Amino acid sequence: MSRTPPARIASLYRYPVKGLSPEPLPHVALRIGETFPADRRYAIENGPSGFDPAAPKWMVKAYFLMLMRDEWLAALHSHFDDASNVLTIRRNGAIAAQGNLETAEGRAAIERFFAESHAGAIKGPPRVLSSKGHSFSDVARKVVSIINLGSLRAIENIVGQPVHPLRFRANLYVEGWPAWHEFDLLDRTLAIGDIRLKVVKRITRCAAINVDPDTAARDLEIPQALMRRLGHNECGIYAEVIEGGTIAVGDAIAAEQPTLL
């Protein structure tokens, strides 16, 4: 098996509310079997979903506001404060809504904003959803999503124009791997200092990555272009945390060699 070239963490992000803004992180503490802290901790229900906070189960993203369908979300800039649990949503630079997502009053303020400002774009009364320890991820397993910036540059060559990395809404962006090298890492373990991440799955891309995070325009057809050129619409990998600790931007990433029996 070929040796994995040197690589490093280029950036780290979390997404406290599914479909809303990414938040850059200088470092993050990871726990075994968990996502990034507060990643997809909340979702905005788009019509009745049947989600039960007392018995949370993974649900497909169609039940929630999401960029695959609701590209107008990209025009909103949000920030979640861990200490106060307050979500602030800005539109055109001004505060459009603000509320403590752990109180009924705060959730109602956020719900009212979506109900009044985007009534024609949603299917039913919006509702802020959460449940302790639950993540509204696109997959049922609790994982970290990883994008290889080398693969992103290959996609830019395919579509013939720049592609913003945040279209892919990953937790961890890697610099230093050749294009598509991440696919060779399936079932292998990534070492970042004392942290260990087990690569478990390729990421199949949907229409969400066609939305420009700066302009909120649906201006590309990346999955279709990948299918035409490469025969698949995958980019990125999911990994499970199997040994915890803290990682930071700039940390080196190495793939451990498989054990030979």
Percentage with pLDDT > 70 across the chain: 97
pLDDT digits (tens, 9 = 90+) for 205-246: 999 999 999 999 999 999 999 999 999 999 999 999 999 999
Average pLDDT for 32-42? 98
Percentage with pLDDT > 90 across the chain: 92
pLDDT at 66 over 70: yes
Q: Coil, helix or strand for 129?
A: strand
Q: What distance in Å separates the CA atoms of residue 202 and residue 239, rounded to the nearest whole number?
A: 9
**pLDDT the model gives residue 9:** 98
Nearest to 220 by CA among 230, 232, 208: 208
**pLDDT the model gives residue 261:** 52
**pLDDT the model gives residue 260:** 55
Strands 144-148 and 172-175: parallel
Nearest to 253 by CA among 194, 199, 191: 191
The residues, ordered by sequence, that sit 6+ positions from 100 with a Cβ below 8 Å of its Cβ are 84, 85, 86, 87, 106, 107
pLDDT digits (tens, 9 = 90+) for 119-176: 888 888 999 999 999 999 999 999 999 999 999 999 999 999 999 999 999 999 999 9
**pLDDT the model gives residue 1:** 43
- Predicted confidence band of residue 3 (pLDDT cuts 50, 70, 90): low
pLDDT digits (tens, 9 = 90+) for 162-214: 999 999 999 999 999 999 999 999 999 999 999 999 999 999 999 999 999 99
C-alpha distances out from residue 165 to 54, 142, 159, 211, 212, Å: 36, 22, 14, 11, 10
